[in-house]
Amino acid sequence: QLQLVESGGGLVQPGGSLRLSCAASGLSLNWYTVGWFRQAPGKEREALSCITGSFLSTNYADSVRDRFTISKDANKNTVYLEITSLKTEDTAVYYCAARLSGICSGNISLYRTWGQGTQVTVSS
């Protein structure tokens, strides 16, 4: 059974950078499309980016395309999300999730396995 654990969140000043990790165990991510999502207080969960298992195709929400980069280390069975030029509005809990194969999609309902989330707070 696939399990996901996010890490790398924290308190960051505006303009700073972070790299979030989504470490998988139980099964290889080579068979899974992995997405990153976030949920700010009082807001709906928002799709940010995704990467496919084998071909490493990526996709981004238009709102984050210029500042977010998704990548994958197959040897570590881990997907990363690098965020630069952080803004206060980036404050949220960030989640990774996986769906078995399939193209990148921002449809949250397609992702069956979720991590517990990591808090990112952007504040001076």
Tell me, what's the pLDDT at 17?
97
List of E strands, the chain: 3-7, 10-12, 18-25, 32-39, 46-51, 58-60, 68-73, 78-83, 92-100, 113-114, 118-122
Instruction: Give the H or E element holding residue 113.
Output: strand 113-114
pLDDT of residue 102: 80
Residue 10's pLDDT is 96
pLDDT at site 94: 98
Residues lower than pLDDT 70 in the chain: none
Residue that is written with structure tokens 């690098």 in the block: 82
* pLDDT, position 56: 82
Would you state the pLDDT for residue 24? 97
DSSP helix, strand, coil percent of the chain (3-state; round to 5): 5, 50, 45
